[in-house]
């Protein structure tokens, strides 16, 4: 009888060390930029009660839930996004938390999606959120952080764009043209560019819009400038929403991010809880799926049974981001690179262990990474290992040219041989 070998579940990834190195580069960059903007890190459980999502996140995401009954007959779902968990955390300590505050997290998320380029069933997502203020400068802070982050990854302005829209503006326009229930219309608008003009018109007709209303809406969503929008909307609310966007752009321009943002009213977002500004980040030419998406959600805590606490934030997935960085050749080498390899001509393992330990603790900052053979082997084999592990310097514990307190060593980057004490070797690094 043949036994089949275990298979990787569809839409998931294994992270062998080379892949994990890239992954950690992404996480380290996310964390360091988030911290440079003074966001604090938080975490939550990987699964929640199913009802945290149903009715609040929006149909699409609910249809993609990994949910099950646990042994206590409770309905549980693996988290498909972080925002409801964040809202739960906020509600639980609504009084104690000093607002506004800025938090970030890098959760592992699960969505039962059709696995395809840019979309997996298990992925990581940087979340940055600001809770407790309705100020548009919270949006400005988040967008500045996104642009800083993408620049830090090596992307240039013009290679990505943060497209900005406003549900408030859309809602007032829907009202102006007398369209029915926006909650029914948003999910259709979100799919506008994906489904094509005919299917779009049909879906809107099904939601109760007339042909004239569909045409007006389509024109509105194609607007490219604030000036153009001003010719189409006239209500007080719409004017206020537009002034907010103008202030946002002016602030970002003053801070040097003007090239990174643009008005894009075709962005609606699929999630149900957004109430104000919504935004999505795309590569130039939108050839890939969104790198990140987010928006303002001022009534989510209320919908979940707490008091009303405004919030705004975004999620940036690791999958599209890594694809984009790979396309621009911006990912670091996935190869291991240790600082020292400790070798011995006589296979003196006690001396090897002792010296390795001394080198590890010789750093005043991050400990040096030190490798060595784990069994007796010829010098040629040890050098092979040193090469494979990307050692910068090979230290020989028993080289005949070294006197007491010194070592023969080889700089693998130049091939040069030296003799010197530990201080000299460390300096050479």
> Which residues of this protein are in contact with ligand HAM, per CB under 6 A?
81-83, 111, 113, 119-120, 123, 125, 127, 129, 271, 290-295, 313-317, 319-320
Please confirm whether the linkage preceding 100 is cis (ω < 30° from 0).
yes
Region of residue 210 (phi > 0: left; psi between -120 and 50: alpha; otherwise: beta):
beta
Q: Which is nearer to ligand HAM, 81 or 283 (CB)?
A: 81
Q: Which is nearer to ligand HAM, 60 or 411 (CB)?
A: 60
Q: What 8-state DSSP symbol labels residue 182?
A: H
Backbone angles phi, psi at 229, to 5 degrees: -65, -40
In angstroms, give the least distance from the CB of 280 to ligand HAM: 7
In angstroms, give the least distance from the CB of 109 to ligand HAM: 7
Write b or e for each residue in 342-375: b if 16 or more Cβ atoms lie within 10 A of its Cβ, otherwise e. Answer: bbbeebeeeebeebbeebeebeeeeebbbbbbee
Q: Do residues 12 and 122 make contact, with C-beta atoms less than 8 angstroms apart?
A: yes
Q: Which residues neighbour 380 within 8 Å (Cβ) at sequence distance 6 or greater? A: none
Q: What 8-state DSSP symbol labels residue 8?
A: P
In angstroms, give the least distance from the CB of 226 to ligand HAM: 24
Point out the residue whose Cβ comes nearest to ligand HAM.
317
Dihedral angle of Cα 94, 96, 100, 101, to the nearest 10 degrees: -100
In angstroms, give the least distance from the CB of 100 to ligand HAM: 15
Per DSSP, the residues of 298-346 read TTHHHHTTS----EEEEEEEHHHHHHHHHHTT-SPP-S---SEEEE-TT
Q: Which is nearer to ligand HAM, 276 or 373 (CB)?
A: 276
In angstroms, give the least distance from the CB of 181 to ligand HAM: 22
In angstroms, give the least distance from the CB of 159 to ligand HAM: 16
Q: What 8-state DSSP symbol labels residue 365?
A: S
In angstroms, give the least distance from the CB of 143 to ligand HAM: 13
Q: Which is nearer to ligand HAM, 233 or 290 (CB)?
A: 290
Q: Which is nearer to ligand HAM, 125 or 148 (CB)?
A: 125
Distance separating alpha carbons of residues 27 and 31, to the nearest angstrom = 6
Q: Which is nearer to ligand HAM, 103 or 368 (CB)?
A: 103
Q: Which is nearer to ligand HAM, 162 or 292 (CB)?
A: 292
């Amino acid at each position: 009888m043949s036994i089949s070998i275990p298979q990787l579940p569809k839409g998931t990834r294994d992270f062998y060390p080379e892949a994990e190195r890239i992954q950690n580069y992404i996480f380290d960059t996310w964390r360091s930029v988030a911290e440079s903007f003074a966001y604090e890190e938080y975490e939550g459980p990987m699964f929640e009660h199913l009802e945290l999502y149903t009715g609040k996140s929006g149909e699409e995401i609910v249809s993609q839930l990994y949910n099950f009954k646990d042994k206590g007959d409770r309905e549980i779902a693996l988290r498909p996004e972080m925002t409801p968990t964040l809202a739960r955390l906020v509600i639980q300590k609504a009084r104690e938390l000093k607002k506004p505050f800025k938090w970030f997290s890098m959760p592992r998320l699960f969505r039962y999606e059709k696995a395809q380029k840019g979309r997996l069933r298990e992925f990581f997502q940087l979340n940055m959120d600001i809770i407790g203020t309705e100020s548009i400068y919270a949006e400005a802070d988040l967008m500045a952080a996104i642009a800083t982050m993408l620049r830090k990854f090596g992307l240039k302005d013009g290679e990505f764009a943060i497209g900005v829209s406003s549900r408030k503006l859309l809602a007032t326009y829907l009202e102006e043209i007398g369209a029915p229930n926006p909650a029914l219309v948003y999910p259709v608008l979100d799919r506008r560019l994906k489904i094509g003009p005919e299917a779009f018109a049909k879906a809107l007709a099904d939601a109760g819009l007339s042909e004239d209303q569909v045409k007006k809406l389509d024109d509105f969503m194609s607007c490219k400038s604030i000036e153009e929008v001003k010719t189409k909307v006239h209500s007080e609310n719409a004017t206020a929403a537009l002034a907010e966007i103008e202030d946002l752009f002016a602030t970002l321009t003053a801070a040097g991010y003007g090239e990174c943002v643009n008005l894009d009213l075709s962005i609606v977002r699929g999630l149900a809880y957004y109430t104000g500004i919504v935004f999505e980040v795309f590569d130039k030419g939108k050839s890939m799926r969104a790198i990140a998406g987010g928006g303002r959600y001022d009534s989510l805590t209320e919908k979940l049974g707490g008091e009303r606490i405004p919030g705004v934030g975004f999620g940036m997935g690791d999958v599209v981001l890594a694809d984009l960085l790979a396309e621009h050749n911006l990912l670091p080498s996935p190869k291991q690179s240790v600082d020292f390899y400790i070798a011995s001509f006589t296979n003196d393992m006690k001396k090897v262990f002792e010296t390795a330990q001394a080198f590890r603790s010789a750093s005043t900052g991050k400990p040096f990474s030190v490798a060595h053979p784990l069994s007796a082997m010829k010098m040629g084999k040890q050098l092979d290992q040193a090469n494979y592990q990307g050692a910068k310097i090979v230290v020989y514990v028993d080289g005949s040219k070294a006197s007491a307190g010194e070592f023969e060593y080889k700089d693998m980057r130049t091939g040069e041989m030296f003799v010197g004490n530990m201080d000299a070797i460390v300096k050479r690094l």
